[in-house]
Amino acid sequence: MSAADGNGWINRDDQVRAHFDRMTRAYLLSILDDELIEEHRTGNGDHLSEPLSRLLAWCQRRPLSKQYAVKAEADGAFRLVSFSGRRGQPPRYIGDERYTTLQEARHGAFLRHIHDLTEK
Partner 1 sequence: MAQQKIFGYANRISVRPGEEISFHVNCDGASEADAQLVRLIHGDTGEAGPGHIEVEVDSPVNGRWTVKKQFTQLGSFLKVADPESKLAVAGDFSLMAFIWPTMPQRGSRQTILGRWDTLRNKGYALGINPAGHLEFWVGDGTEVDYVTAELPLLPKVWYLVGVSYNRETGRAELYQEGVLNRYNSLVGKVVPYDFASHVVQKFRFKPENEPDLPFIIAGALDEHALRGPFVNDLYAGKIDRPAIGNRALSRAEFDGCRHGGLPPAESVLAYWDTSRQYTANGVGHEVTDTGSHGLHARGFNHPVRAMTGWNWNGKDDCFRIDPSQFGGIEFHPDAVTDCGWEATNRMTIQDGLKSGIYAIRLRVGPGTGIAEEYIVFVVRPKTPTGKLCFLVPTASYLAYANEALSFDAQIIQPMTGQPPVVTDLDVETYEHREYGLSTYDHYEDDAGVCFSSYLRPIVNMRPKYRMSSMNITWQFPADLSIVAWIDHMGYDCDFITDEDLHREGVDLLRPYLCVITGTHPEYVSERMLDAQEDYVAGGGRLIYMGGNGYYWVVGFDSEMPACMEVRKLDSGMRAWAAKPGEHYLQTTGEKSGLWRNRGRAPQKLTGVGFIAEGFETSAPYRKMPDAWHRTVSWITEGIEGEVFGEMGLAYNAAAGVELDRYDLSLGTPPHTKIIASSGGHSDNYVLVTEELLYAYAGLTGSLDYRIRADMTYFTAPNDGAVFSTGSIAYGQALPANGFNNSAAHLLANVVNAFLKPGRLPGSNWTLEEKQWR
Q: Of 18, 41, 72, 118, which one interacts with partner 1 (CB under 8 A)?
A: 72
Straight-line distance from the first to the last Cα atom of the chain, in angstroms, rounded to the nearest whole number:
17
Q: Is there binding between residue 44 and partner 1 (CB under 8 A)?
A: yes
Q: Is there binding between residue 106 and partner 1 (CB under 8 A)?
A: yes
Contact region for partner 1 (CB under 8 A) — 4-12, 13-21, 29-37? 4-12
**Residue 37, amino acid:** I
Q: Which is nearer to partner 1, 30 or 45 (CB)?
A: 45
| 40 burial level (CB within 10 Å; 0-12, 13-18, 19+) | buried
| 26 burial level (CB within 10 Å; 0-12, 13-18, 19+) | exposed
List residues near partner 1 by CB under 8 A.
Answer: 6-8, 44-48, 53, 56-57, 59-61, 63-64, 67-72, 74, 78, 81, 83, 87-91, 102, 106, 109
